[in-house]
Amino acid sequence: MATAISLKLDQNVRLPKGSYRALGPGVKRWLGKLRNAKGYGNWEAYVAKGLAKRLRPVYVQQVSAAFAQAGYLLESNRKFTVGNEVHQQYIFESMAGRRAMLYVIEAPDALVWLVGWSN
């Protein structure tokens, strides 16, 4: 993991303090859990563990606000349960028509959020 302050593909989207970019083979495991993500790629993965994972509502609000500040508006929001995990999918669209998906997985051992960009 590496400390992260903004999204890699759009540095105008700032991340909450304490965000860590997930790197390595574990990211593929999280990507394999995505639902309804066809048409999105260039995924970036971030994780919060331990006490920080309990702050899911704060992280989601801060990341959503960062998208809004960068000019992306929330288009849709879906929430569902997969086994013992809660998944939530947010679709954002910029005024220029660029789309991004924020996909949040609340797992027993971590809070993971992935950001993908429309192909």
3-state SS class at 105: strand
Is the whole model's pTM more than 0.75, yes or no?
yes
More reliable by pLDDT, 5 or 92: 92
Instruction: Give 43's pLDDT tier (boundaries 50, 70, 90).
Output: confident
Instruction: Give 118's pLDDT tier (boundaries 50, 70, 90).
Output: very high
Computed over every residue of the chain, the mean pLDDT equals: 81
Please give the average per-residue pLDDT across 21-45, as a whole number.
84
The number of folded domains in the chain is: 1
Residue 18 has pLDDT above 70, yes or no: no
**What is the per-residue pLDDT for 88?**
94
| Residue-range definition of the domain harbouring residue 69 | 2-118
Give dist(CA 90, CA 43) in Å, integer.
14
Give dist(CA 93, CA 79) in Å, integer.
19
